[in-house]
Amino acid sequence: MDNLGTMATTSTEYKTKKQLICEAAARLFRDKGYSATSMRDLAETVQLKASSLYNHIGSKEEILREICFTNARRFHIGMKEVEQLPHATASDKVRALIRLHIRIATEDFTSVTAFNDEWRHLSEPYLTEFKTLRKDYENRFLSIIEYGIQNGEFKPLDAFTTLYTLFSSVRWLYDWYKPERQVTPEALYEQIAAFLMSGLER
């Protein structure tokens, strides 16, 4: 995963160009779908000749892997940090994970590609690897919710329903958020967390 999630570059300029290509690809994947997006489409979007594009990226699927595994790594790093919070309650951890989702959504919109359906176009063994990482993250989040229900912090709700309701309640941000909307990530967190936690906490 580390090899896929790390941009294998040696210069700042190359990193910048590769990131621009990934962002442009993510927009095309979102708007046209992965299957309908061609390398020619991408080259035109970033104003490069197709031959020049291959100096920065090997294939369309390489871009998809870059996006998916980079964001999977972000979520797993965030989850580990939340799990290690000292003296944190289940409520504290769920709030921290809501904040994590909002931060990632507002910092890098390419994460929408990993969170929606385009990851399904990964070929093996990458598809199985990504699905394993995705399920691991979900199970760890689920364990926090289940613990909160068991110890009486949370209402006696179905844990799976609660988990996927939380995910659905922040997923729209990946498409909606733009800095020019003049709402800060912190303001989004305060509103979304207040709404979601009021339905979860006793």
Query: For residue 159, which of 141, 145, 173, 177 has the smallest C-alpha distance?
Result: 145
Confirm if 163 and 97 have CB atoms less than 8 A apart.
no
Cβ within 8 Å of residue 89, ≥6 positions away: 148, 153
Instruction: Give the DSSP per-residue string, 39-92.
Output: HHHHHHHTT--HHHHTTT-S-HHHHHHHHHHHHHHHHHHHHHHHHT-TT--HHH
**Which range has the worst mean pLDDT, 13-22, 82-91, 113-122, 130-139?**
13-22
What does the pLDDT read at residue 128?
A: 98
Which is more confidently placed, 13 or 86? 86
Percent of the chain having pLDDT more than 70?
92
Q: Side-chain half-sphere of 29: how many Cα atoms within 13 Å?
A: 28
Collapsing DSSP to helix, strand or coil, 201 comes out as strand
How many structural domains compose the chain?
1
Domain assignment present for residue 4? The answer is no
Asked if residue 3 is part of any domain, the answer here is: no
User: What confidence tens digit (pLDDT) does each residue in 90-106 have?
Assistant: 999 999 999 999 999 88
Burial class (CB in 10 A: 0-12, 13-18, 19+), 25: buried
In this predicted model, what pLDDT tens digit does every residue of 27-51 receive, in sequence order? 898 888 899 999 999 999 999 988 8
> Measured in whole angstroms, how far is the alpha carbon of residue 177 from the centre of its chain?
14
Q: Residue 1 domain-assigned? A: no
pTM of the model: 0.86
Establish if 5 belongs to a structural domain. no
Predicted local distance difference test score (pLDDT) of residue 158? 98
In-domain check, residue 75: yes
Question: What was the pLDDT predicted at 11?
Answer: 42
Residue range 64-82: mean pLDDT, rounded: 94
| Region 172-197 average pLDDT | 91
The contacts of residue 19 (CB under 8 Å, 6+ apart) are 7
Instruction: Tokens for 67, please give them.
Output: 């996006």
More confident residue, 3 or 110: 110
| Dist. CA 157–CA 22, nearest whole Å | 39
Using the predicted structure, report yes or no on whether residue 110 has a pLDDT greater than 80.
no
CA–CA separation, 43 and 50 (whole Å): 5
State the CATH number of the domain containing residue 184.
1.10.357.10
What does the DSSP 8-state code read for residue 123? P
Q: How confident is the model at residue 15 (pLDDT cuts 50, 70, 90)?
A: low
- Prior bond of 156 cis (ω within 30°): no
Owning domain of residue 89 = 10-200
